[in-house]
Structure 1
């Protein structure tokens, strides 16, 4: 349990240090998002950050003893959470690539997980400017644009006010999907993802928590749909040549 307590304190510190940073606002996926400067279909890399383990989170339990109490009170749920699969999220990268290929976009799937923390930060007030410097990836992967899927939180959230729970647990998937123009380091698309699903009136059903388990897989499916639907709907340049899969 000790590592969870230290993780909670660390997360709180990160949250407080980041309060002054404005959250990135959505950028619509426009009709030219998948084109290059020559108005032809762009070469798009598809990358995904490393998926986190499925876990429980207790925001508001903001002292060590509070978090220890919340962890102990929800230990059965945490134990169950650790058994849940995330395969449908892991396959999203390939599904995104398939959706782009249906639009005759030339796609390169980047097999290794992208380490976003290793990229240099960029401080900017430009609404569509990327917060990380992706320029080094242009030559490395020989692509014009990079579609990134980043899902740093997967599992269940139950809010607390110190020792007191203020909500029932809800299944959550949070993160973002975005398309970066590597020539300008700007977003051609930015989609915040904040999916949550409740189990309904009855959730406390250990050891398998069927209501919350169903909510979890609903949240996974909703997060996938939120990424794939805009890609299915977007137009590409007329006459763009069909390209082979990579």
Structure 2
């Protein structure tokens, strides 16, 4: 069988898309890299996502519509929840660095990570984004990035059938990039998942799930702040994940 160029190109793109990179693994906090003589550190944060409900596994239009309708009361309540604890995290991180006599500046505008070029690499300490333009723009030597990707509640489905109760979730990562080498001096994935327990379906206020949500926010904050406030931080080897109650 003879393939045309468009067909061959399409097949090649499918093959390449299947060669997914391994998930970024944690990088232990390098205390020496952030020492007082390590240069100026910028603290940046991506725009916080809206607090929302998510239904993975409801993967057809009708399935998702069913899941969305079935959880409409929870979604309506979710939209009232605040994210102030995470909004303040950037300033708290900067304050923790300044206590260590580190020259620190807060980057006021949210960092747009999607605008940075991707780097395909499986080297554990190599950044997956190209931060070269950031160094020139911000005039800092290192950049501590707080990237929150998901907030709210996750309830898994198998098509139309729920396979779990809703769980409060905070998903993201925090990392320190040496802008001279585009490498991580620290990387901690954050994946917090907390259940309200057996009794969760309590509309319209959902007190159990609400409590779980704010506990998840606090656990996410602790995951980022703890290594920066410890005198001799111990290396993290796994993503932060709160045990389901």
Q: SS of the counterpart of 1:177?
A: strand
Distance 1:132 1:65, change over 3 A: same
How does the TM-score come out when normalised to structure 2?
0.86
User: Contact 2:21 / 2:122 at 8 angstroms: preserved in 1?
Assistant: no
Alignment partner of 1:119 out of 92, 116, 121: 116
Contact 1:30 1:234 in 2 (8 A): no
The two structures, once aligned, show a CA RMSD in angstroms of 1.5
- Cα distance in 2, alignment partners of residues 19 and 73 from structure 1: 37
Residue in 1 aligned with 2:143?
146
Equivalences, count: 217
Q: Does the aligned pair in 1 maintain the 2:169–2:193 contact within 8 Å?
A: yes
Q: Secondary structure in 2 aligned to 1:207?
A: coil
Runs of 4+ residues deviating >4 angstroms:
none
- Tell me by how many angstroms 1:30 deviates: 2.0
In the TM superposition, 1:1-246 aligns within 5 A as 20-35=20-35, 40-234=37-231
Q: Distance in 1 between matches of 2:81 and 2:28?
A: 33
CA contact (8 A) 1:31 1:234 kept: no
Give the direction of change, closer, same or farther, for the CA distance of 1:184–1:143 in structure 2 (3 Å limit): same
SS in 2 for 1:100: helix
Shift of 1:125: 2.5
Q: 2 CA distance for matches of 1:171 and 1:65?
A: 25
Q: Note if contact 1:145-1:180 (Cα within 8 Å) is conserved in structure 2.
A: yes
Contact 1:33 1:189 in 2 (8 A): no
TM-score normalized by structure 1?
0.85
**Residues 52-95 of structure 1: per-residue CA shift (max 9 Å, x gap):** 10000000111111100000000000000000000110000000
> Do the aligned partners of 2:58 and 2:64 also contact (CA within 8 Å) in 1?
yes
CA contact (8 A) 2:55 2:64 kept: yes
> Structure 2 stretches of 5 or more lacking a match?
1-16, 234-245
- The runs of 5 or more residues in structure 1 that have no matched partner are 1-16, 237-246
Per the alignment, do residues 204 and 19 of structure 1 end up closer, same or farther by CA in structure 2, a change over 3 Å counting?
farther
Matched residue SS, 2:194? strand
